[in-house]
A and B are shown apart, each in its own frame.
Chain A
Amino acid sequence: MKRYGDTACRQELFENTDLSANMEDYMETIALLASRNRVVRVRDIAKTLKITMPSVTAALNKLREKDLIHYEKYGFIELTDRGRHVAGLVYRKHSFLKRFFGEILGMEQTSADEEACRLEHHLSPEACRRLYRLVEFHDAEHGSEIEWTGRLQDLMDEGPLSELREGQSAAIVKVLGDSPLRKRLIDMGFRKGERITVVKYAPLRDPIELSIKDYRLSLRVEEARDIMVRPLERGRRRRRHGRE
């Protein structure tokens, strides 16, 4: 990651590769495997990308036509100089996007990775550059990281109680709305910072059983939407991010 962490931030660092998203993924994978294993084989690529060997071979042929790789049938795969450059472009984008989602927005490692994979092919060089700046800024302000990214991430994590998974705990941030229900909940101890746990969903997924203070309460999903919470355990995110 640090390999590409040069502070120079020229536009051409993020120029377009003219490759399809698919092909970019191949280039990225080959570069990654090369840095990790020294030699790269079709089998390794197929395994990493979870596709069949014949389709990998077909794609490799295309890349060879574009003079991005050296590839002989049944042999090892190597990047050409041009290939190294292209792979570098793709990989750079990927790694800072991943950092953007992970370190700044506070998403989980794997989902940050997935988001980066998806986004890296579609951003314009300009957008890339600006996002890169932001990540750099974050690095430069390292000492005050907790200050603003911490606050930002708390904000990012906040969500309605109804999005918690079974068994997940959260701190109450706020009870929204202006209903008598809100007043009742406040009377029952729903105050800022109070720990609340989703014990379970009813068999038909509707009311939720909650545990707060020393008692159990049930509430409909619809009503739980008005209760904003911040999940307590990091890494175990809401459904919104990772897939359940």
Chain B
Amino acid sequence: MEGNKASMKTREITVGLVGNPNCGKTTIFNALTGARQKVANWSGVTVEKREGRLKHGGVSIRVIDLPGIYSLTSYSMEEIITRDFIIDDRPDVIVNVIDAGNLDRNLYLTTQLINIGAHSVMALNMFDEAANKGLIIDSDKLGTLLGIPVVKTVGTRSIGIDELLDRIVQVARGTDDTARHIHIPFGDDVEAEIRAIQEKMREDEAIGDRYSTRWLSVRLLERDTDAVKKLKAFPGNEIIMEQVAKSRSVLERFFDEDIETIISDRRYGFIAGAVRESVKKTAPRRVDVSDNIDRVITNRYLGFPILFLFLWALFHLTFALGEYPMNLIETGVHHLGLAVERLMPAGPLKDLLVDGVIGGVGGVIVFLPNILILFMGISFMEDTGYMARAAFIMDRVMHTMGLHGKSFIPLIMGFGCNVPAIMATRSLENRQDRILTILINPFMSCSARLPVYILFAGAFFHVHAGTVILSLYLVGILLAFVSARLYSLVFFRGGSTPFVMELPPYRIPTIKTTLLHMWDRASQYLRKMGGIILAFSIVIWFMGEYPKSPDIARDYEAHIAAARSHNVRVIDKALADQTPSAALETLRGELEAKVESLEVEKISLEKRNTMIGRMGSALTPLTEPLGFNQQMGISLVTGFVAKEVVVSTMGVLYHAGNGAGGAQQPVDQAIRRPEYGITPLSAYTFMLFVLLYVPCLATVVVMGREAGWRWAFISLVYQLLLAWIVCFLFYNAGRILGF
């Protein structure tokens, strides 16, 4: 690390953001780089390394946002990422982000950073909150005591960011006055043993080159398995390990405490001293309302009702409030269709545009408002701090299901989208909990399934649509729990893992974050529209149109022409016979109906021959027992790519089905036409199937990546089977009961 300094002026500076969970690292990262990484008020939001770049006074800086850690001994997956980054990648500067309102515990990590000899700058973040608590922190004093330049920051308002950058550059160049290496004193007895171990390490210079020997000695004393692993890489490690064991037993005997306690005690002792000298406590400027809010939110009697009411209101609003903008967009799409219809010359291109593109993409885009509302609700939960409380009150329930309270967060996030939800499981420490949570996540109805629900529930259940949708969410949750038990019975039998979770203070979500969350979602949705959904709409349209069947077309056209001319003759005759005008009208209607039915017959025969038609027939043995028509079967297949495609596929298929000159009908009216044979029962079964069968492609991929492909495969098979069996039972039971 020392050698870097000379070349620093020309090279890019690498900066790592390190700190306890939820202390505002990502907020500072965003303020530094202008990025829009996710910020939320619970621990363990960031689960991956994230990079950003910026220039400050001509120096280019690479900033890396990291998952939060409490100490350099790490357990959960995302914490290991951070530790490995600090220790193996050795960034030029570490920005140690500290929650100023919770100084003691946050500084513990700092003492460890000092131990490894990192070059740090401290961002004393959440300074506003500390001031409200009545803490007066002398940051210069603190900096001098720790040998680390300290900058007061308020990440949410970008206060102190420039100064932070100045200090980063100074530390990187080695020109900062405050930055110096201090030793945290462990007391004479411990120090003597550390020296003894260091002595043994000196025999192999390679160790000292790679790691700080003081740090390694302390870690070894503390029985850190990772440190042991690191040491094993060097020859002669046995002698060192022997010395470590000897030193440890000497100390433990002397203090009558285990070594972890001895060392952490010294660290906290050092911190207490530093805090005593640099912090003054005065009367709080503002009362902390968190406790008062919690008196209600996690109240013994009100806790659960409030949680359920909140979730119910969220889903209800998603549907009810979303309907207005949805209707607006629907009308827009409709008019666009009509305009194109009018303006373009007839031909395959026009059909493609009207039926394929507008029918498909238009059918899905209308759900954008619903999805935004849903995400606003989830974002509210995450940003206020309610999410952690929900996990807190749900832990008991989750525990009975073989899950973990923290699993509740990814599960709720799953209502938004399963992909980030599965990523969020990284904050679960235990692999078993994690895999289980991943496996059941697809049962959480993601927002991509919402369009299907809204379409079918709206078309077939009218006023009860909201209740029907809620029931689907509940069925999903129920089956998630059942499956969790099933999976853990078959695959896992380990004990439970501890539930150590911080409950952050309530914070008022900034409009900026909420809007950013929503915008992120909206843009993602729109990109999906422009990408996969558009592509699939076109493909489906082609598959639904081709291959053409010229014979059938010719035959039927002849038939139709014959019928038409026959009609003309009949009417002429009737006119000649002076038939009264009322009777004439009826006659005309009858004749036209005959022609129309011929046309429908023609189209359905033509469809049967297209690729989609053949696919539909091939699927019939599977879909018929569930009461699905061919279009439904097909859209389930294409829906594997993304669940919204179910709706766009229907849009394309039914649009095209409207056929020659038929009035443009929105999909929700089209699917109700009697010739498609969808009953409320089969509609519900269909929604059920969409809820249960394979999650989308992206979810399967992320499952494979996070849990392993074996699990992704198991889940795929399980969900297909489950969906089919449940739907079969449901549909047939419903029929027997006479629905």
A interface residue numbers (CB < 8 A to B): 179-189, 191-192, 199-207, 209, 213-220, 223
Asked if A191 meets B70 with Cβ closer than 8 Å, knowing A203-B298, A213-B104, the reply is no
The answer on a CB contact under 8 Å between B70 and A217 is: no
Q: Is the CB of B264 within 8 A of A207?
A: no
CB within 8 A of A216: which of B70, B73, B396, B503? B503
Question: A181, B498: Cβ atoms under 8 Å?
Answer: yes
Can you offer 25 A-B residue contacts whose CB atoms are under 8 A? A180-B75, A181-B498, A183-B73, A184-B71, A186-B260, A186-B264, A189-B105, A189-B268, A191-B264, A191-B268, A200-B294, A201-B300, A202-B393, A202-B396, A203-B304, A206-B396, A207-B392, A207-B405, A207-B499, A214-B104, A215-B502, A216-B505, A217-B502, A220-B498, A220-B499
Residues of A within 8 A of B298 (CB): 200, 202-203, 209
Bound-state CA distance A6–B593 (Å) is 119
Q: Assess A209 versus B503: contact at CB under 8 Å? Given A189-B105, A202-B392, A203-B303.
A: yes
Q: Tell which of B73, B105, B300, B393 touches A214, judged by Cβ atoms closer than 8 Å.
A: B105
The answer to the question of B101 belonging to the interface, with a C-beta cut-off of 8 Å to chain A, is yes
Complex-state Cα separation, A179 to B500, whole angstroms: 13
**A200-B298, A203-B299, A223-B498 are known contacts. Are A209 and B104 too (CB-CB below 8 A)?**
no
Q: Which 5 A-B pairs have the closest CB atoms?
A: A204-B396, A206-B396, A187-B71, A216-B503, A203-B303
The answer to whether A214 and B499 touch (CB under 8 A), given A203-B298, A203-B299, is: no
Name the contact of B264 in the complex, choosing from A181, A187, A219 (C-beta under 8 A): A187
| Besides A189-B104, A218-B395, A218-B499, 12 new A-B residue pairs in contact (Cβ under 8 A), listed by A number | A181-B498, A184-B498, A192-B265, A202-B298, A202-B393, A202-B395, A207-B499, A209-B294, A214-B101, A215-B102, A217-B500, A218-B500
Taking the closest CB of chain A, its distance from the CB of B506, in whole angstroms, is: 11
| A223 → chain B closest CB, angstroms | 5
Q: Could you say which of B108, B304, B499 contacts A187, with CB atoms under 8 Å apart?
A: B108
Q: Which residues of A contact B505 (CB under 8 A)?
A: 216
Chain B residues within an 8 Å CB radius of A217: 500-503
Give the chain B neighbours of A183 by CB distance below 8 A: 73, 260
Q: Which B residue sits closest to A184, measured CB to CB? A: B500
Cβ distance A203 to chain B, nearest Cβ, rounded Å: 4
A187 to B70, CA, bound (A): 7
Contact A187 B73 (CB under 8 A): yes
Alpha-carbon distance between A212 and B499 when the two chains are bound, in angstroms: 16
Q: Pick from B105, B265, B290, B399: contact of A206, CB below 8 A.
A: B399
B397 sits at the interface (CB 8 A): yes
B499 lies within 8 A of A188 (CB):
no
Q: How far is the CA of A182 from the CA of B21 in the complex (A)?
A: 19
A202 to chain B: closest residue by CB: B393
Minimum Cβ distance to chain A for residue B300 (Å):
5
Structural contact, A218 and B265, CB atoms closer than 8 A: no
Among B75, B261, B501, the residue within 8 A (CB) of A191 is: B261
Residue of A nearest to B503 (CB): A216
Given A187-B73, A189-B108, A214-B102: A220 in contact with B264 (beta carbons within 8 A): no
In the complex, B254 has a CB within 8 A of chain A: no
Q: Which residue of A lies closest to B388 (CB)?
A: A218
Q: Which of A182, A192, A203, A217 has the most CB of B within 10 A?
A: A203
Q: Select B75's contact among A184, A214, A223, beta carbons within 8 Å.
A: A184
Measured between C-beta atoms, what is the minimum distance from A46 to chain B in Å? 39
Residue from A188, A192, A220 in contact with B105 in the complex, judged by beta carbons closer than 8 Å: A188
Please state if A202 and B105 are interface contacts (CB–CB under 8 Å): no
Map CB proximity to A onto B501-528 as digits: 1 under 8 Å, 0 otherwise: 1111100000000000000000000000
Contact B503 A181 (CB under 8 A): no
Closest B residue to A212 by CB, please name it.
Answer: B105
Q: Contacts of A218 on B, CB cut-off 8 Å?
A: 392, 395, 405, 499-503
A232 and B376 alpha carbons, distance in the complex (Å): 44
**Are B105 and A215 in contact, with the CB atoms below 8 A?**
yes
CA distance A207 to B389 in the complex (A): 11
Least Cβ–Cβ distance between B360 and chain A, in angstroms? 47
- Whether the pair B395, A184 counts as a contact (CB closer than 8 A) is no
B397 proximity list for chain A (CB < 8 A)? 204
Residues of chain A contacted by B108 (CB below 8 angstroms): 187-189
Residues in chain B near residue A180, CB distance under 8 A = 75
Closest residue of B by beta carbon distance from A220: B499
B301 proximal to A (CB < 8 A): yes
CA A207 – CA B405 in complex, angstroms? 9
The answer to whether A214 and B265 have CB atoms under 8 Å apart is no
Cα of A218 to Cα of B300 in the assembled complex, Å: 15
* B103 in the interface (beta carbon within 8 A): yes
Asked whether B395 lies within 8 Å of A220 as measured between CB atoms, the reply is yes
* Min CB gap B98→A, angstroms: 12
Interchain nearest-CB distance for A91 vs B (Å): 44
Closest partner residue, chain A, to B264 (CB atom): A186
Residues on A with C-beta less than 8 A from B294 are 199-200, 209
The residue of chain A having its C-beta at the shortest distance from the C-beta of B223 within the complex is A183
B635-654, CB under 8 A of A: which get 1 and which 0? Answer: 00000000000000000000
For B72, give the chain A residue with the smallest CB separation. A187
Please tell me if the beta carbons of A209 and B71 are within 8 angstroms of each other in the complex: no
Residue of A184, A191, A213, A215 ringed by the most chain B CB atoms within 10 A = A215
Which residues 249-273 in B have Cβ within 8 Å of A in the complex? 260-261, 264-265, 268
Q: Determine how close the nearest CB of chain A comes to the CB of B288; give it in whole angstroms.
A: 10
Whether B392 contacts A223 by the Cβ 8 Å rule is no
B408: shortest Cβ distance to chain A, in Å?
12
Q: Which residues of B contact A214 (CB under 8 A)?
A: 101-105, 133
A228 to chain B, nearest CB (A): 13
The CA of A135 and the CA of B704, in the complex, are separated in Å by 70
- Nearest chain B CB to A28's CB is how many angstroms away? 41
A202 to B399, CA, bound (A): 13
Whether B265 contacts A207 by the Cβ 8 Å rule is no
Known: A180-B75, A202-B298. A207 touches B396 (CB 8 A): yes
Would you list which residues of chain B between 626 and 673 have a CB under 8 Å from chain A? none
Contact among A182, A186, A206 with B395 in the assembled complex (CB-CB below 8 Å) = A206
Once the chains are docked, how many angstroms separate the CA of A70 from the CA of B477? 75
Residues of chain A contacted by B303 (CB below 8 angstroms)? 202-203
Most B Cβ at <10 Å: residue of A187, A200, A205, A213: A187
Q: Report yes or no: A213 in contact with B102, Cβ–Cβ below 8 A.
A: yes
Residue of B at shortest CB range from A200?
Answer: B298
Using CB atoms, name the residue of chain A closest to B222: A183
Interface string of B461-504 (1 = CB under 8 A from A): 00000000000000000000000000000000000001111111
* Min C-beta distance of A194 to chain B, whole Å: 8
Kindly report which residue of chain B lies nearest to residue A178, judged by CB atoms: B258
Q: Which of B105, B133, B399, B499 contacts A213 (CB 8 A)?
A: B105
Interface string of B361-397 (1 = CB under 8 A from A): 0000000000000000000000000000000110111
The residues of A that contact B300 with a CB separation of less than 8 Å are 201, 203
Encode B388-418 as 1/0 by CB contact (under 8 A) with A. 0000110111010000010000000000000
Contacting pair B101 A219 (CB below 8 A): no
Q: Which residues of A contact B268 (CB under 8 A)?
A: 189, 191
State whether A186 touches B104 (Cβ < 8 A): no
Q: How far is the CA of A184 from the CA of B71 in the complex (A)?
A: 8
Q: Which residues of B contact A192 (CB under 8 A)?
A: 261, 265
- A152 CA to B106 CA, complexed, in Å: 36
Write out the residue numbers on chain A whose beta carbons fall within 8 Å of the beta carbon of B103.
Answer: 214
Instruction: Name the distance in Å between A2's Cβ and chain B's nearest Cβ.
Output: 42
In residues 91-121 of chain B, which contact A (Cβ within 8 Å)? 101-105, 108
Roughly how many angstroms separate A218 CA and B294 CA in the complex, as a whole number?
13
Shortest CB–CB separation between residue A176 and chain B, in angstroms? 11
Given contacts A189-B104, A209-B392, A217-B502, contact A203 B70 (CB under 8 A): no
Task: Give CA–CA (A179, B268) in the complex, Å.
Answer: 21
Measured CB to CB, the closest approach of chain A to B18, in angstroms, equals: 15
B71 — which chain A residues lie within 8 A by C-beta? Answer: 184, 187
Contact A204 B393 (CB under 8 A): yes
Kindly state the separation between the CA atoms of A199 and B503 in the bound complex, as whole angstroms. 12
User: Cα distance A209–B395 when bound, in Å?
Assistant: 12
What is the CB-to-nearest-CB distance from A204 to chain B, in angstroms, rounded to a whole number? 4
Q: Which residue of A lies closest to B405 (CB)?
A: A207
